[in-house]
Homo-oligomer: A and B are copies of this chain.
């Protein structure tokens, strides 16, 4: 099992974050994939539009990119004679999403370790003394 995010030469370029797969990292696609990974039974086109606050055109465009990359499968069917499009994340899409997520967690850890978090009502962490 490959659990390490594909970071190249971590020692030399610890902030390169090679694991931030560009197909997934784009904001709308990250929204769509996070919706789908949390809804393993799939979501309709209309559900996704609402959950991700995307227009028809934008959602279609990004779904095409995800489908071409085999991250998402789209099934066009009917429900009571009305067309119904249902989207699922594929097994390989889920795997790539989870690898992406590891790098995302790394970004959050790197920032937190440096005391970048602000002490506030929502997030209170141990802080290194700030020099700024």
Instruction: Give the B-binding residues of A (Cβ under 8 A).
Output: 1-9, 12-18, 20, 22, 25, 27, 30-32, 34-35, 37-41, 49-58, 89, 91, 94, 97-98, 101-102, 104-105, 107-108, 110-111, 113-114, 116-118, 120-123, 130-132
Contacts and interface: CB of A to CB of B under 8 A. Distances in A.
Given A27-B17, A53-B13, A98-B116, A105 B123 contact: yes
Given A27-B17, A111-B101, A132-B91, A53 B117 contact: no
Given A38-B116, A50-B12, A55-B4, A104 B104 contact: yes
A115 B79 CA distance: 29
Contact of A102 (B14, B31, B39, B122): B122
A4 to B, nearest CB: 6
Contact of A55 (B2, B9, B37): B2
Tallying the copies of this chain within the complex gives 2
A12 B53 contact: yes
A111 B127 CA distance: 25
Contact of A114 (B2, B12, B38): B38
Contact of A35 (B15, B51, B108): B15
Contacts of A91: 132
